[in-house]
Amino acid sequence: MLLRRTSAGVVVSYGRRPSLRACLRKAGAYPDTYAADVVQGAYEWYVVEVVDLKREYRLYYKPEYPTIYAFLYRKFGFNKADIRALKTDLDSDRYVGLATASVRYGGGLKGYISYDGRDGLAARLLGASWEEVG
Amino acid sequence: MKVRWDFVTNSSTTSFIIICSGKPRLDDFLAAIGAKAGTPAAELFRQLYYVLCDGLKPVNEADRKESENVYDMLKDEFSERTANRVQSALREGKDVWYGRLASENTEVEAFFCTDSFEVERGEFYLNALPCGW
């Protein structure tokens, strides 16, 4: 799994969706503990509550935008460097999702871990790679 | 949970207590938290451990603010249950430590300053329930 900070938010991509159990194991958090609660918060934010960008385009926006790149550029505000960095994933079978900001404030722990520079912390907890784009 | 009626700013400090024998030990803390040694979770919580230990005071030396005694201060800041637990622990000769977390300091401190939690394992007990926004 790879997390990337882009101009539109944090993008998560993976070939096979990681399970919560696998993330807990990678993080080193024992089940039913506070450490597991923290890792689960990160998991929900970056794996569960994300916008599936390819599906969103295919189901709702394909007639409106000629390509998924144009869709990401105009609809979500990704810049050209972001789109270049995502191109390989977009053209492959990999899942590409955007962690939205809708619960950034008032969302408790899971909102807070994505606030400002803390995404790298969440990536470490999920055993994901972290990349800054642009 | 506490409801604050006065002026609320975008920064916060919250208090916590630790009950254990002697000074809090890192391995007891990690075991109570549920983080396996040598993993990313342990790395994160090791940082939290050092933040918690920085400025830790015996509860009897804590700033009681307007409260007449430690019991009332704990009852006000935490709960009656916590105040009773601390009283019992002190009677049993255990060590009770009091500290504060601030949202304006390090990333890790800010992170945990906003989460309400309580962990216990063996003789180690950490109550950070007043934390949270």
pLDDT digits (tens, 9 = 90+) for B82-109: 999 999 999 999 999 999 888 777 767 7
- Using CB atoms, pick whichever of A36, A113, A125 lies closest to residue B34: A36
Predicted-complex ipTM score: 0.84
Contact A33 B42 (CB under 8 A): no
Contact A34 B107 (CB under 8 A): no
Nearest CA in chain B to A33: B34
Contact A121 B41 (CB under 8 A): no
pLDDT of residue B18: 96
What is the reported pTM?
A: 0.83
Nearest CA in chain B to A109: B115
Distance from CA of A130 to the nearest CA of B (A): 14
B 96-115 → A contacts, CB under 8 A: 107, 111, 114-115
- Please list every residue in chain A whose beta carbon sits closer than 8 Å to the beta carbon of residue B106: none
Q: Which strand ranges, in their side-by-side order, compose the sheet holding A50-52?
A: A50-52, A95-99, A9-14, A2-6, A129-132
In degrees, to the nearest 5, what angle opens at C-alpha A26 toward C-alphas A20 and A29? 75
A41: left (phi over 0), alpha (psi -120 to 50) or beta: alpha
Nearest CA in chain B to A124: B40
* Mutation to test the B interface, candidates A30, A32, A38, A105, most B Cβ within 10 Å: A38
| Band of pLDDT at residue B6, cut at 50, 70 and 90 | low
3-state secondary structure chain B: CCCCCCCCCCCCEEEEEEEECCCCCHHHHHHHHCECCCCHHHHHHHHHHHHHHCCCEEHHHCCCCCCCCHHHHHHHHCCHHHHHHHHHHHHCCCEEEEEEEECCCCHHHHHHHCCCEEEEECCEEEEECCCCC
pLDDT of residue A14: 96
How many angstroms separate the CA atoms of A5 and A100, rounded? 12
Average pLDDT, chain A: 86
